Each structure stands twice: as C-alpha cells, then as structure tokens.
Structure 1
Amino acid sequence: MPIDAAKALAAEPRSGEIAWNAKDVQLYHLGIGAAANPDKHSPATDPDELRYTLESRLHVLPSFATVAGAGSPGVISGLSMPGVEVDLARVLHGGQSLEIHRPLPVEGRATATSRIAAVYDKGKAAVLVMRTEVADAHGPLWTNDAQIFVRGEGGWGGDRGPSALPHSRLRSSGGTPTEPVDGEPDRIVERPIREDQALLYRLSGDWNPLHADPEFAKVAGFERPILHGLCTYGITLKAVVDTLLGGDVTRVRGYATRFAGVVYPGETLRIRMWRRDGEIRVAVSAVERDDAPVLADTIVQHS
C-alpha cells in the first residue's frame, strides 16, 4: 500500500534549520501580487505597497510562513515522510491553516519540526495532515498545517476523519468553519492574476511542475498549469489586511482555508469579506468562471 498510515503517524518528527532575509520576503510579496495595484492609476510606488516591497519600510505578511526558508516543510516534503509513497500527479493541496505566535521578523533563522499529524481514509482518496512547528531562539513563531489530498490512495479501511477535509486547529467564534456566512459582505474586492504569476510565485520554493509545465498539468487532469493554492492564499490574506485590518500585518493571529477549486493564471479573484467578533470570514471565487469557488471555509483571526 503506498500509504502506510500507522508507519506515517509513528515516524519521528523531522527537524531542520531554515533561514530567510528581506530579499526572500520581497520576492514572496511580489509573487502574491504586491505592487500590482488593480487601480491602473495608482503607481507601484504607492506607500501602501512599499510596505511589502521596499526594504526600509518592509513588514512581513504572515502567510510568508508557508514558504519561509525556501522549502520549509509542506506539501512536497510531506510526500517523502516514512510510510508515504505516492505519485505527485495525484496530489492536490486540500487546505491550509496557520497560527501566528509572534510577528514574523524580516530576517530570521529558526528550527522547523514537521510530522504527519493525521491520516484519513476518504475511500477514493487519502488525506494527510502535515504539521510544522517553527521556533527561533526567542520561542515559537508559527504552526502550519497543510492538508494533502491524494487521489486514488484511500480504501484501506482507516479512520475517515471529519466529514469535510480537516480544516484547522482554529475555532471560529461564529460557529464551525463549514457554516455559511449570512448577509451581504462588508467588503468585496477583485484581484487580477498575472499570466506569469505562477512562474514568479514558484521562485519562493514551490517547484511542483503542475504550476509551470503544460504537459505535466495535462497528466494531472488540468487543461493548463494552475496557480499555486498558497499563492491564492497569500493574495487573499493581503486583501484582508489591506482593506479591513488597516494594513497592520501584526494583527493577524490565525488564518485557515479549504482549497475549493483551482485558479488559472490570467483570471480574476473576487474576494468577499464578512466581519465577525475577532475574525473575518472570507469567500473567494473566479470571476471569469461564473464565480466558481476557489477558497471556502476561510477565517482570518485577528486582534
């Protein structure tokens, strides 16, 4: 069996040193569309965008944690854990959650410790939860959970887990993450995706050919390369921070989502936001495909 759940769960955690600097942060921000203001009349040197791109004003969007160290343990590294041997073309990123323990520094060196925290048998697929805890000399920085969906690898009679994909260790103050949001959104913004966005984003460390190679994308069942789910994840958090959190990245305490659909470079994201006590609910869709869902069950917790 390609996935040995017992072996994966019993495996010793893997630890490694990661490091990043201002250039890594700037590259990540550009990879999620910083300075590409959708208002054509606003220059890339808008002071609000320079917070993401100019080293003298730089702050770090918390979703940078998903790429810090240019290969910080995540989806692909999870596939090399003991008990896991699968075909990369069958793998999809099902969801992501992030807890921020302290604001991320512009430059840092830390230890990342990762393990398979859960394995679920969904019948026609398996779901792996890859948990990574990162700490520096001053203590914990963040905890990352990546939910890895592997098509065709279920059916061994294991724990089915939650009825939906495992979402997050975060808990919504307004109910469970799968509850629909009532009422009109407090804000709606649109973010165009560049045709080369995936090629730029992958320079931050996610080299999966699904996002660059047309032939590989076809083998995986897509008409052409798709945008990284974590790129959409970052674009969405930036939109929330910029519109509802006053541009203050340090207010973000947690961020979780389920990847509900794909995004193709060149499309436009429609991002709907609802304020709740201590959190913001978000739904993201692809404008050109009749608002096809892209991110669902999305929560940004904040101070």
Structure 2
Amino acid sequence: MPIDAAKALAAEPRTGDISWTTKDVQLYHLGIGAGANPDRPSPATDPGELRYTLESRLHVLPSFATVAGSGAPGVISGLSMPGVEVELAKVLHGGQTLEIHRPIPAEGTARATNRLAAVYDKGKAAILVLRTEVADADGPLWTNDAQIFVRGEGGWGGDRGPSTRLDPPVGEPDLSVERPIREDQALLYRLCGDWNPLHADPDFARHAGFDRPILHGLCTYGITLKAVVDTLLGGDVSRVRSYTTRFAGVVFPGETLRIRMWQGKGSVRVAVSAAERGDAPVLADTIVQYS
C-alpha cells in the first residue's frame, strides 16, 4: 500500500523558517484578481483595490497564508511526508481550513511546522490532512489544514473520518456576485508557488482525467474570500477569524464564478458555482467566520 498511515502519523513534524515580502503579497493578490474587480469603476486605481496592490497601503488578505513563504504546502509538500508514496496525477485538493490568530503582516519571517494530522480511509480513496502551524516572534499567526484527496489509495480498513457535509443554506442568498476568471489566471497564480502541472500542462491534465488544465482550488478559495471581505465585511481583512471550504468541483480558466452569500451573526455561508456550466458546484460547505 503506497500510504502507510501508521508511519505517516508517527513521523516527526517538519519545521523551518519562512519569509515573505510585500512583493509576494502583491503577486498573490494579483493572482486572485485584485485590480480587476468588476463591481468597481476603474478598479486598477480604486482605493478598494489599491489596498491589495499598492505597497504603501497594503492589507493582507488572510488566504495569503496558504502560499506564504513556501508556496502551496497542502498538496506538494504533503506527498513527500514519510509513509506517503503516491502518484501526483491521482491527487486533488479536497478541502481547506484556515484559522487566523492575528492579522498577517505585509512582510515578515516566521517558523512553520508541518505534520500529518490525520489519514482517512474513504474506501476508493484516502484523505490526508496536512496541518501547518505558523508563528513569529510575537506568537501564533495562523493554522492551516489542507485535506488532500488521493484517488485509488483507500481500502485498508482505516478510520473513515468525520463527515464535512453541511445542510444547504436556507432561503435566498443575501448577496450574489460574479467574478470572471482570466484565461491566463492559473498561469499567473502558479507563480505564487504551486507548480503542479495539472494547472498548466494540457498533457498532464489529460493524464489526470481532465480535458484541459484546471484552475487551482486555492485560487478559487482566495477569490471567494476577497469577494466576501469586499462586499460584506467592509473591505476589512482583519475581521476574518477562520475560513473553511470543501472543493466540490473544478474551475476552468475563462469561466465565471457565481458567489452566493448568506450572512449570519459572526459568520457568512458561501456557495460558489461555475455560471456557464449550469451552476455546477465549485466550493461547498463554505463558512467565513468574522468579528
């Protein structure tokens, strides 16, 4: 069996220093569409967009934590952990949970600790949960849990894990917005550190079962959080406390995301779909908690 659950869970955590600059933050924001918000007139110079793109007034969207310092640790790094030997073409990002302990500085150095927190047997697939905890000299900054879905690697009789499915939101959404995805969006976003060829190489994408390269799930994740912050949280990135989602379907560059939001007390339920494909689900079971 390519995944040795006992060995993977017993492995020592991997710890190392990471750092980022304002340029890294700006590149991430551009990679998720900052400066091109269709809801704003002249978005490239709108103050609401400049807070994501201009170094003199830079605010850090919390989802930057998924790429800070070392690129997308949830998929590529998780496959190099002890006890895990799987083919990259069988791997998909299944879900992401982010807890923000305090606002992320626009530049900094921190210590990141990575470990496999869980390995679940789903029968025809396995799910690896890679936990990344990051702290700087002033204390904890964020905790990331990436759920890595590995096709064809289950069936050893292990723990199936908890269900992450939620009941659908009730009633009509409080707000619905659309965000177009550029044809070159994945090529730009991958410069943030996720070099998986699934998002750029047509031959690799076909080998993985897709007609053409797909957008990074974490790019959709960032686009969605930005839409919530810009519309329901007054543009204040510091209000985000946690953000969780399940990747329910793929996005192809050139499509349009339809982002529906239901606002509650201290939380926003979100559903994201691909508008041109009959609102095919993209992100599900999505919650942003805020102060």
CA positional deviation for 1:71: 2.6
Q: Counterpart of 1:157 in 2: which secondary structure?
A: coil
In structure 2, the residue matched to 1:102 is 102
Q: Which of residues 222, 236, 241 is equivalent to 1:253?
A: 241
Structure 1 segment 190-209 matched on structure 2, within 5 A: 190-209=178-197
Structure 2: which 5+ runs fail to align? none
What is the TM-score with the length of structure 2 in the denominator? 0.98
Aligned length: 291
Residue by residue, what CA displacement relative to the aligned partner does 1:147-177 show, whole Å, maximum 9, x if unpaired?
000000001111111234xxxxxxxxxxxx6
- 2:158 pairs with 1:158: yes
In structure 2, the residue matched to 1:171 is none
Please say if residues 43 and 49 of structure 2, whose CA atoms lie closer than 8 Å, have aligned partners that are also in contact: no
Please say if residues 115 and 132 of structure 1, whose CA atoms lie closer than 8 Å, have aligned partners that are also in contact: yes
Q: Counterpart of 1:79 in 2: which secondary structure?
A: helix
Structure 1 segment 180-219 matched on structure 2, within 5 A: 180-219=168-207
Residue by residue, what CA displacement relative to the aligned partner does 1:215-263 show, whole Å, maximum 9, x if unpaired?
0000000000000000000000000000000000000000000000000
Please say if residues 179 and 256 of structure 2, whose CA atoms lie closer than 8 Å, have aligned partners that are also in contact: yes
Counterpart Cα distance in 2 of 1:102 and 1:40: 28
Residue by residue, what CA displacement relative to the aligned partner does 1:97-133 show, whole Å, maximum 9, x if unpaired?
0000010000010000010000000010000000000
- 2:59 pairs with 1:52: no
Q: Aligned letter for 1:267?
A: E
Q: Aligned letter for 2:239?
A: R
Residue by residue, what CA displacement relative to the aligned partner does 1:56-86 show, whole Å, maximum 9, x if unpaired?
1100000000000033632110000000000
CA positional deviation for 1:197: 0.2
Q: Counterpart of 1:51 in 2: which secondary structure?
A: helix
Please say if residues 123 and 154 of structure 1, whose CA atoms lie closer than 8 Å, have aligned partners that are also in contact: yes
Counterpart Cα distance in 2 of 1:39 and 1:140: 35
Distance 1:6 1:92, change over 3 A: same
Q: Aligned letter for 1:292?
A: A
In structure 2, the residue matched to 1:289 is 277
Please say if residues 198 and 214 of structure 2, whose CA atoms lie closer than 8 Å, have aligned partners that are also in contact: yes
Counterpart Cα distance in 2 of 1:41 and 1:252: 26
Counterpart Cα distance in 2 of 1:39 and 1:65: 25
Q: Aligned letter for 2:9?
A: L
Structure 1: which 5+ runs fail to align? 165-176
Please say if residues 185 and 273 of structure 1, whose CA atoms lie closer than 8 Å, have aligned partners that are also in contact: yes
What is the TM-score with the length of structure 1 in the denominator? 0.94
Counterpart Cα distance in 1 of 2:241 and 2:14: 25
In structure 2, the residue matched to 1:147 is 147
Counterpart Cα distance in 1 of 2:43 and 2:157: 56
Q: Aligned letter for 1:294?
A: V
Counterpart Cα distance in 2 of 1:64 and 1:43: 21
Please say if residues 18 and 72 of structure 1, whose CA atoms lie closer than 8 Å, have aligned partners that are also in contact: no
- 2:257 pairs with 1:266: no
- 2:216 pairs with 1:228: yes
Counterpart Cα distance in 1 of 2:16 and 2:280: 39
Please say if residues 72 and 194 of structure 2, whose CA atoms lie closer than 8 Å, have aligned partners that are also in contact: no
Please say if residues 74 and 148 of structure 2, whose CA atoms lie closer than 8 Å, have aligned partners that are also in contact: no
Q: Counterpart of 2:38 in 1: which secondary structure?
A: coil
In structure 1, the residue matched to 2:266 is 278
Residue by residue, what CA displacement relative to the aligned partner does 1:176-206 show, whole Å, maximum 9, x if unpaired?
x612100111110000000000000000000
Counterpart Cα distance in 1 of 2:167 and 2:129: 22
Let me know the Cα RMSD of the aligned residues.
1.0
